[in-house]
Structure 1
Amino acid sequence: MYDFKILVVDDEEEFRNVYKLMLEFRGFEVSLASSGEEGLSFLEKEYYDLVITDLKMEGMDGTELLKKIKEKNYNCEVILVTAFSTVENAVIAMKLGAFGYFIKGQDPQILLKEIDKLLKIKELENDNKTIKSSLMSFNYLLETHSPKFKEVLRISKKAAESNANILILGESGTGKEVIAKYIHQCSSRKEESFVAVNCQVFSDGVLESELFGHEKGSFTGAFEKRIGRFEEADMGTLFMDEIGELPLNTQVKLLRVIENKAIERIGSNKSIGVNLRLISATNRNLDKEIREGRFREDLLYRINTITVEVPTLKERKEDLPILINFFMDKYQNEMKKKINKMEDGLLEMLINYDYPGNIRELKNIIERLVVLSDNGILRKRDMPSIKVSVQENPEIGSVVVLKPLREIRQTYEIKYIKLVLSRCGNNLSEAARILEISRRQLYNKLEEYGMSEQYVK
């Protein structure tokens, strides 16, 4: 069921509690506000599908609250509730954009029917959003300012114009499946199926059944005939992710399928022709796998007519702002949380991190920050315990725990002051001259960092 959130605004506690009891019994998530002003503060921080507000309240009344909600584009519907029914009030409410109008004392089922009507509308909108979001995600992940990634897209688009088998190389989390889908979308097969299978997640016997299918009764548990991924992808594209994990015996069968353009289901001798484009991907070094006897050299030659190497996120840092904004929008919408800003220094932390887990790690970090956010603010304290490479500065060391910029400045300011004082024989006046600050400012720094007793006798 769609996660439907309702905010009830009423200055009478008894009515608020009745609404809460009735609506939570129906499975809705309910928040309560005792005034129009408090209701607006709730809407600043959280997303709600519906506001049920009393018309007559002290301070900001229901009509004024409705106006504010529409002015600020909170994207929620409003049902006005009143003890006194007049045609004039109903007309005003509808003109202002209220979804409905409910009279206290009426059968509560009337209100619940209005809410159910809105719920169905929201569920349809959500289904459409999911489809649209999937398309947007795909397009957004292809947006780039990186010369390296632009070259990947150029090669992929050219490769798509042929029927050549393509091998995509890249670290885990770099978006190899996104590139595979892009190739499919750029090809003449785009109206046909794109079928993905991860070779890593299946055991040997199950993987062969997954790829080639099986006949009923061909092995214990084969209670019915199964169509494999090769048949499913006929006329379209088969994407074999983590192909470097294929066991040798399955590699032999795959080689035969590529050469003969036909498969045999497990338990059958009948040959079934397949016409598809094969795209493979791996994060393994296949040359090394061949040398160590874990991958067939002749299979590599069949799957890598064209090779595409996807750069790591560290190699395309120009794209970090695009990806950060994309994942923030994605998780705000999914979690119905409104994010207004990032705490100072957080964006620098996100930009300066190297992301060994690539886009997948960035996605997880942003999701975590949105989940743990309060009052619409993403905070540094909610960052996971990550490390950043700082090899360009040997004085710091090869790795350091990622910290707020203020702490880093403080740490290295202390180190540098100590170094200058040492060079000056602990002469404060000389050190202050080199640092281009006054002696008093230097003394204050020493006090701040608890070093005054050490240097001021």
Structure 2
Amino acid sequence: MEGMNGIDLLKEIKKKDGETEVIIVTGYGSIESAVEAIKQGAFSYFIKDHDPEELILEIKKVRDIFKLKFENKTLKEENKEKGYLIETNSLKFKEVLEVAAKAAKSDSSIFITGESGVGKEIIARYIHNLSLREGKFVPVNCQALSENLLESELFGHEKGSFTGAIEKRIGRFEEANGGTLFLDEIGEMPISIQIKLLRALDTKIIERIGSNRPIEVDLRFITATNKDMQESIKKGDFRQDLYFRINTIPIRIPPLRERREDLPMFIDFFLNKYEKETKKRILKVEDEVMNFLLSYDYPGNIRELRNIIERLIVLSDDGVIRKKYLPEYQKNSRYSSLTLKEYRELVEKDYIEKTLLEFDLDKDLASDFLGISKRQLYNKISEYDINLVK
């Protein structure tokens, strides 16, 4: 290299990006140069006439380190997101969190209901994290697996117990031993597995497929569904005795349209999240876009909100999120044609009415919750012509 040697290049690389790992490869190795390379931040030092396998081994070490760093970063981001989605300004969701916190102190079975995308797994993880259980949180989506695969996934199998069982495998019950087993979309579970599940819950004993050896398990059991379970029981799709067994502590998570107080917080969070992920700087969000994001009913709940914002940022130009990139259904929003001032007034009126109803028209409690004086509340009621009757 003209003008610099390997050590000089190493210094420049580390100066520009401290995360980049460098392996010095040289034909003229010496102890002094090796020490200097490591001192300046080289990952390792390789002399050309040595066994190439040594260099390959060093490269694999770098790869493994970066893989671990990426996994840790991803896990931190996921935990940060899940933790953030627990924060709330909604009275209804605060009640959910209170029940979840109390339930976490027991080992009772918990049954979480709510529409798709409301965050049922997030609440299940929240309960597990608040509990005294030291084992893992193990989620299973009952809808994503066929009957045979689901049984093997839950209970495990012995080698040769069925075609394709080329080795022994422990199931999710054993994996969750000492921790929490979360069965999402349990309403989709086949009847044959429901019978085996009920027995396992009652006895705390399971058997792997192809084995009659009993295995004791100790775990917290949480289930969730977005189905109408009473209707499923009537149709014979779900066993009533299993329903009673899993429904010790029921928790219903309200849809996003019932907790609009949290929308501004979620919108800001996902805007920041996808700004970083897409490496795009957002300078402006058009008023029509913000009106839509704050007024849309989100049948897909938090998952849909997240997807819409990701789409808007990906398609944005020059740091501006524009109305033309909104989904087609935005035209149905009741706020889409309002000015920002009109929109704010309408949302404020809706929020005051909702709060008054939640506190059974008690204006003292409502004003305290809203963070305004009782006189200010009366002024708002008069200004917006709010007439509510018990």
Indicate whether the TM-score tops 0.5.
yes
CA gap of 1:400–1:221, structure 2 versus 1, over 3 A, is same
Q: Which residue of structure 2 aligns with residue 341 of structure 1?
A: 284
Tell me how far apart the structure 2 counterparts of residues 403 and 152 of structure 1 sit (CA, whole Å).
31
Aligned-partner SS, 1:279: strand
Shift of 1:181: 0.4
RMSD of equivalent CA atoms: 2.6
Q: Which residue of structure 1 aligns with residue 128 of structure 2?
A: 184
* Of 210, 214, 233, the match for 2:157: 214
Whether the aligned pair in 2 keeps the contact of 1:349 and 1:404 (CA below 8 Å) is: no
**Aligned residue identity for 2:185:** E
Q: Which residue of structure 2 aligns with residue 151 of structure 1?
A: 95
Whether the aligned pair in 2 keeps the contact of 1:216 and 1:222 (CA below 8 Å) is: yes
Tell me how far apart the structure 2 counterparts of residues 400 and 350 of structure 1 sit (CA, whole Å).
10
Q: Which residue of structure 1 aligns with residue 379 of structure 2?
A: none
Shift of 1:343: 1.6
Tell me how far apart the structure 1 counterparts of residues 288 and 192 of structure 2 sit (CA, whole Å).
53
Equivalences for residues 311-330 of structure 1 within 5 A: 311-330=254-273
| Number of equivalenced pairs | 295
Q: Which residue of structure 1 aligns with residue 18 of structure 2?
A: 118
Shift of 1:107: 6.6
CA gap of 1:161–1:255, structure 2 versus 1, over 3 A, is same
Tell me how far apart the structure 2 counterparts of residues 296 and 405 of structure 1 sit (CA, whole Å).
50
**Aligned residue identity for 1:188:** L
**Aligned residue identity for 1:120:** T
Tell me how far apart the structure 1 counterparts of residues 69 and 144 of structure 2 sit (CA, whole Å).
34
Q: Which residue of structure 2 aligns with residue 230 of structure 1?
A: 173
Tell me how far apart the structure 2 counterparts of residues 383 and 199 of structure 1 sit (CA, whole Å).
33
Whether the aligned pair in 1 keeps the contact of 2:296 and 2:333 (CA below 8 Å) is: no
Shift of 1:169: 0.3
Larger radius of gyration: 1
Tell me how far apart the structure 1 counterparts of residues 178 and 6 of structure 2 sit (CA, whole Å).
56
CA gap of 1:125–1:384, structure 2 versus 1, over 3 A, is same
Tell me how far apart the structure 2 counterparts of residues 266 and 383 of structure 1 sit (CA, whole Å).
50
Equivalences for residues 282-361 of structure 1 within 5 A: 282-361=225-304
- Tell whether 2:185 aligns with 1:242: yes
Deviations 1:31-89 (A, max 9, x none): xxxxxxxxxxxxxxxxxxxxxxxxxxxxxxxxxxxxxxxxxxxxxxxxxxxxxxxxxxx
Equivalences for residues 161-200 of structure 1 within 5 A: 161-189=105-133, 191-200=134-143
Runs of 5+ unmatched residues, structure 2: 22-64, 343-390
**Aligned residue identity for 2:290:** L
Aligned-partner SS, 1:197: strand
Whether the aligned pair in 2 keeps the contact of 1:168 and 1:282 (CA below 8 Å) is: yes
Shift of 1:135: 2.2
Tell me how far apart the structure 2 counterparts of residues 199 and 128 of structure 1 sit (CA, whole Å).
28
Q: Which has the higher helix share?
A: 2
Shift of 1:131: 3.4
Whether the aligned pair in 1 keeps the contact of 2:295 and 2:335 (CA below 8 Å) is: no
**Aligned residue identity for 1:150:** K
Aligned-partner SS, 1:222: coil
Tell me how far apart the structure 1 counterparts of residues 207 and 12 of structure 2 sit (CA, whole Å).
57
Taking structure 2 as the reference length, the TM-score comes to 0.71
Shift of 1:112: 7.6
Tell me how far apart the structure 2 counterparts of residues 220 and 125 of structure 1 sit (CA, whole Å).
38
Deviations 1:80-103 (A, max 9, x none): xxxxxxxxxxxxxxxxxxxxxxx9
Aligned-partner SS, 1:328: helix
Shift of 1:368: 0.4
Tell me how far apart the structure 2 counterparts of residues 127 and 204 of structure 1 sit (CA, whole Å).
32
Task: State, as a whole percentage, how many aligned pairs show the same letter.
Answer: 56
Shift of 1:201: 0.3
Equivalences for residues 370-449 of structure 1 within 5 A: 370-387=313-330, 403=336, 405=338
Tell me how far apart the structure 2 counterparts of residues 163 and 201 of structure 1 sit (CA, whole Å).
27
Aligned-partner SS, 1:278: strand
**Aligned residue identity for 1:325:** D
Shift of 1:120: 2.8
Deviations 1:2-54 (A, max 9, x none): xxxxxxxxxxxxxxxxxxxxxxxxxxxxxxxxxxxxxxxxxxxxxxxxxxxxx
Tell me how far apart the structure 1 counterparts of residues 82 and 3 of structure 2 sit (CA, whole Å).
51
Shift of 1:224: 0.3
Taking structure 1 as the reference length, the TM-score comes to 0.61
Aligned-partner SS, 1:280: strand
Whether the aligned pair in 2 keeps the contact of 1:215 and 1:268 (CA below 8 Å) is: yes
Q: Which residue of structure 1 aligns with residue 85 of structure 2?
A: 141
